[in-house]
Amino acid sequence: MNDRLFLFLILLLLSMPVYGQSGAGDRPVGLPFATRSPVVAQHGIAATSHPLASQVAIDILKQGGSAVDAAIAANAALGVMEPINCGVGGDIFAIVWDPETRQLYGLNGSGRSPKGLTLEMVRAEVQKRTKDGQIPLYGALPVSVPGAVDGWFTLHERFGKLEMSQILVPAIRYAREGFPVTQVIAFDWQRNVEDLEANADLIEELDNFRKLYTIDGRAPREGEIFRNPELAATYEKIAAGGRDAFYEGEIADVIDRYMRRIGGWIRKEDLAAHRSEWVDPVSTNYRGYDVYELPPNGQGIAALQMLNILEGYDLASLGHNTAEYLHLHAEAKKLAFEDRARFYADMAFSDVPVEGLISKEYAAERRKHIDMKRAATSYPAGNPRLDSGDTIYLTVADSTGMMVSLIQSNYWGLGSGLVPDGLGFMLQDRGALFSLEDGHANVYEPGKRPFHTIIPGFVMKDGEPFMSFGVMGGDMQPQGHVQVLCNLIDFGMNVQEAGDAAR
């Protein structure tokens, strides 16, 4: 989220089987950026946006689960506890370090637009529903196929140890028995309720949302116990029937009937056709560290472009967060985001020049545009809605050295406002990020994945895993990746300091 930024990092020490940060022994206590000492663990570690979800992940590791098992369990729990940020109605991306094969694996678990909805139909609906000429954030129009559940099972098939029925037990228990709502989540929940009610004219059906997510018309308050037995039942169906229960079975039937009833476009055929995609992470070397991101339709390569541009400057000599230092970061981001607006899209539909965009030669050319004495007045990002998004990031490492960098989101808060009958979750609104401009790389097409802001990160050093990391916050995520990495690499901060430092 834009106003609630978190950083979660895991550093694998190369010389011993410990997860934590290195070089802390000679560092003074009480440095200005650190809120606490970095957490160090010997047999495994998990970092999530909710303490109960982190506990769920650790419990799964203690039961013999892999880092992937623990990450799935934590993500499922967060779908219960932070529905304003994630859930099985949304999409998922991940990077996994597998110590057995000594390889990084990337997963693109984003869903696609309805095959029965054409560009002409979208334009006609937009003209009827909105004044700004853009796909709205609410209602059936921005709904794309939820990719999270298929992403879980795709990850689990390759890297899981425990049965999915065991992995989902904690989330099912919390959904059925309830959990105390925390302060920030309560605040954002109420804000989401207000936003959805204020846009009720764009949403075909709101009764299911009101029944599921509100108490007497309001969001649950801090400390109130919130229960979601409908989501518990959905998780139980997924645990018993696998991904097919969601995409081809009873859950798919409910979504199909619901969308037909309200006049939406997602069909069972869209759900059945969905598959996650294994992709090769792409990288650049920044001062001896190999930084990995996923290729588009996400925005991860923007971080690589920014790092390439910044590598041409002695940032340490400028001083941390000095005017000159921040000027360079801002200008590098403007340059990368100009390319992001022009090129980043579903690579199955658009020829994205990834290799050229992340090359050192291209960065050298782009760097020439930067004037140290003047800020560029305009590098338009192409879509003003890219500045926000509600997301969870989590990372887990286990005793074998497997590390998972995972990010998951509904896009805008709770999502589209549409809650299929009795399933306990809301459908995402990621399709709002499609362009309606002819010839644009991210122009809407049936069966296409929209541009995504959520990006997991990973760093290697001398051929060994160094760090699994990520941030939350819409289009600030590439900026956050870069600033944290500069804190670590250019200024020698430990992981806690690097995350706590102002962005």
Residue 443 gets which letter from DSSP? B
Per-residue pLDDT tens listing for the chain (503 residues)? 333 333 444 443 222 222 233 333 344 444 567 888 899 999 999 999 999 999 999 999 999 999 999 999 999 999 999 999 999 999 999 999 999 999 999 999 999 999 999 999 999 999 999 989 999 999 999 999 999 999 999 999 999 999 999 999 999 999 999 999 999 999 999 999 999 999 999 999 999 999 999 999 999 999 999 999 999 999 999 999 999 999 999 999 999 999 999 999 999 999 999 999 999 999 999 999 999 999 999 999 999 999 999 999 999 999 999 999 999 999 999 999 999 999 999 999 999 999 999 999 999 999 999 999 999 876 533 343 445 557 899 999 999 999 999 999 999 999 999 999 999 999 999 999 999 999 999 999 999 999 999 999 999 999 999 999 999 888 889 999 999 999 999 999 999 999 999 88
DSSP strand E in 195-257: where?
Answer: 225-226
Cβ pair 206, 417 in contact under 8 A? yes
**Residue in this structure with the two tokens 């995609």, named with its chain if needed:** 277
- Give the residue among 417, 442, 389, 410 at the shortest CA–CA distance from 146: 410
Digit-coded pLDDT (tens) for 118-145: 999 999 999 999 989 999 999 999 999 9
**Extents of the domains making up the chain:** 49-90+101-275+418-442
Torsion angles phi and psi, residue 469, rounded to 5: -155, 165
- Give the residue among 298, 379, 385 at the shortest CA–CA distance from 331: 379
pLDDT at 11: 42
Cβ pair 154, 116 in contact under 8 A? no
Is 391 annotated in the active site?
yes
Torsion angles phi and psi, residue 59, rounded to 5: -60, -40
User: What does the alpha-carbon distance between residue 202 and residue 197 come to, in Å, rounded to a whole number?
Assistant: 10
Q: Could you tell me the end-to-end alpha-carbon distance of the chain, in angstroms, rounded to an integer? A: 14
pLDDT at 460: 98
Residue 201 gets which letter from DSSP? G
User: What does the alpha-carbon distance between residue 289 and residue 113 come to, in Å, rounded to a whole number?
Assistant: 37
Exposure on the CB side of residue 95, measured as CA atoms within 13 A: 26
User: What does the alpha-carbon distance between residue 388 and residue 3 come to, in Å, rounded to a whole number?
Assistant: 9
pLDDT at 379: 52
Amino acid occupying residue 39: V
pLDDT at 474: 81
Cβ pair 82, 50 in contact under 8 A? yes
The residue annotated as part of the active site, out of 391, 395, 400, 453, is 391
- Give the residue among 355, 373, 362, 297 at the shortest CA–CA distance from 336: 362
User: What does the alpha-carbon distance between residue 52 and residue 488 come to, in Å, rounded to a whole number?
Assistant: 28
**Residue 20: CB atoms within 10 Å:** 22
User: What does the alpha-carbon distance between residue 456 and residue 390 come to, in Å, rounded to a whole number?
Assistant: 15
Token pair of 437 as six digits: 């401009």
**Residue length of the chain:** 503
The DSSP code sequence of 33-66 is T-SSPPP-BSS-EEE-SSHHHHHHHHHHHHTT--
